[in-house]
């Protein structure tokens, strides 16, 4: 492969990018860019070992939760091979009404393969520590070692609660985006980031861990095991709820962020 330095293209035509399907993406490295023949959009890799983002989904976005640059050090949590539901019930992890969810990042430890993660928009209930599922995305976990991983909603392998007109790419948005409601849907109208730490039904392992801050304050994590709930998100369905009875208002800030735009 040729290596060019300081290349300038003096032309009024175009530059053709390498093109291939989602399934033929090479391992991501910083700054890689390619045309995705599956989504008909442009793939862009922000970091070594990360998943690809849809380039258009990166434009004019804001970040909620713990930004990727702050997902450093810390300690592993939800790492005992037991899948967990979790919600970070704090203002830092609360969605703003009428914003559009575009992706997520998390610092995870997953040195094996064959598992999935769920990220969710959940709505708090009038019943304490009970959360309703409003939207959800399942992603194939990226094999890595203690690094931040990026997930674009366009790359979800399973979705819930996404309106039919948002399930394909258009000139105005990337598929699988979700508009945060401005009013209550099933609960009290407060929407937060939720997750399921691992879903081994689509592989053969539960081995995965999510990091949180070490020795910091401000965490407000509510959680319960999937076994305690009885179902994964697709079994509960949109509007279904889970009760966090194992842990309430505990831990430190989770190393999770969400990308959104107005």
Asked if the structure places residue 142 within a domain, the reply is yes
Q: Phi then psi for 231, rounded to 5 degrees?
A: -145, 155
Alpha-carbon span 180 to 191, nearest angstrom = 8
Asked if the structure places residue 24 within a domain, the reply is no
For the chain, give the number of residues: 262
> Comparing C-alpha atoms, which of 194, 208, 200 is closest to residue 242?
194
Asked if the structure places residue 21 within a domain, the reply is no
Asked if the structure places residue 166 within a domain, the reply is yes
Output the pTM of the full model: 0.77
Asked if the structure places residue 49 within a domain, the reply is no
pLDDT surpassing 70 at residue 148:
yes
pLDDT surpassing 90 at residue 189:
yes
Asked if the structure places residue 178 within a domain, the reply is yes
In the beta sheet, which residues pair with residue 45? Answer: 52
Domain that holds residue 154: 61-261
pLDDT by residue (tens digit) across 122-136? 999 999 999 999 999
pLDDT by residue (tens digit) across 80-118? 678 899 999 999 999 999 999 999 999 887 656 667 889
Which distant-in-sequence residues (6+ apart) come within 8 Å of 97 by Cβ?
180, 181, 182, 191
Alpha-carbon span 257 to 61, nearest angstrom = 12
> Comparing C-alpha atoms, which of 108, 168, 167, 162 is closest to residue 135?
162
Alpha-carbon span 162 to 167, nearest angstrom = 7
CB atoms within 10 A of CB 29: 11
Asked if the structure places residue 244 within a domain, the reply is yes
Structural domains counted in the chain: 1
Asked if the structure places residue 75 within a domain, the reply is yes
Q: Which residue has the tokens 């996404």?
A: 162
Two tokens at 59?
Answer: 């434009």
- Quote the DSSP letter at residue 235: H
């Amino acid at each position: 492969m040729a290596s060019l330095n300081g290349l300038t293209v003096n032309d009024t035509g175009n530059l053709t990018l390498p093109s291939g399907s989602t399934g033929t993406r090479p391992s991501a490295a910083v700054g890689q860019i390619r045309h995705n023949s599956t989504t008909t959009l442009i793939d862009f890799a922000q970091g070594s070992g990360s998943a690809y983002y849809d380039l258009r989904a990166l434009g004019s976005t804001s970040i909620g939760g713990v930004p990727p640059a702050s997902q450093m050090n810390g300690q592993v949590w939800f790492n005992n091979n037991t899948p967990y539901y979790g919600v970070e019930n704090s203002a830092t992890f609360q969605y703003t009404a009428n914003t559009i969810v575009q992706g997520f990042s998390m610092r995870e430890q997953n040195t094996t393969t064959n598992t999935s993660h769920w990220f969710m928009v959940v709505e708090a209930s009038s019943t304490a520590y009970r959360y309703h599922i409003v939207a959800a995305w399942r992603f194939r976990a990226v094999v890595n070692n203690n690094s931040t991983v990026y997930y674009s909603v366009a790359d979800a392998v399973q979705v819930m609660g996404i309106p039919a007109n948002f399930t394909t790419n258009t000139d105005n948005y990337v598929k699988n985006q979700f508009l945060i409601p401005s009013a209550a849907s099933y609960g009290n109208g407060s929407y937060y980031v939720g997750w399921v730490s691992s879903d081994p039904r689509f592989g053969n392992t539960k081995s995965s861990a999510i990091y949180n801050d070490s020795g910091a304050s401000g965490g407000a994590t509510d959680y319960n095991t999937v076994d305690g709930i009885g179902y994964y998100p697709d079994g509960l369905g949109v509007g279904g709820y889970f009760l966090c009875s194992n842990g309430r208002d505990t831990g430190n800030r989770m190393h999770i962020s969400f990308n959104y735009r107005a």
